Homo-oligomer: A and B are copies of this chain.
Amino acid sequence: MQDSYPSQLLEDAVQAFSKLPGIGKKTALRLVLHLLRQTDSDVEEFSTALLRLKKEVHYCTCCHNISDTEKCAICSDPRRDASTICVVENVKEVMAVEATRQFNGLYHVLGGLIAPMDGIGPSELEIQSLVERVAAGGIQEVILALAATSEGDATSFFIFRRLQPYPVKLSVIARGIAVGDELEYADEVTLGRSILNRTPFKN
Q: Which residues of A contact B (CB under 8 A)?
A: 1-10, 12-13, 15-17, 19-23, 27, 29-36, 40, 43-58, 65-68, 72-74, 90-92, 94-96, 98-99
Majority secondary structure of chain A interface residues (helix, strand, loop or mixed): helix
- Neighbouring B residues of A53 by C-beta, 8 Å: 9-10, 12-13, 32, 35-36
Interface residue from B7, B51, B54, B67 paired with A68 (Cβ < 8 Å): B7
Cα of A86 to Cα of B186 in the assembled complex, Å = 55
Contact status A21-B43, CB under 8 Å:
no
Cα of A96 to Cα of B29 in the assembled complex, Å = 12
Contact status B40-A46, CB under 8 Å:
no
Q: From A100, which residue of chain B is reached at the shortest CB distance? A: B2
Cα of A9 to Cα of B68 in the assembled complex, Å = 7
Contact status B7-A92, CB under 8 Å:
no
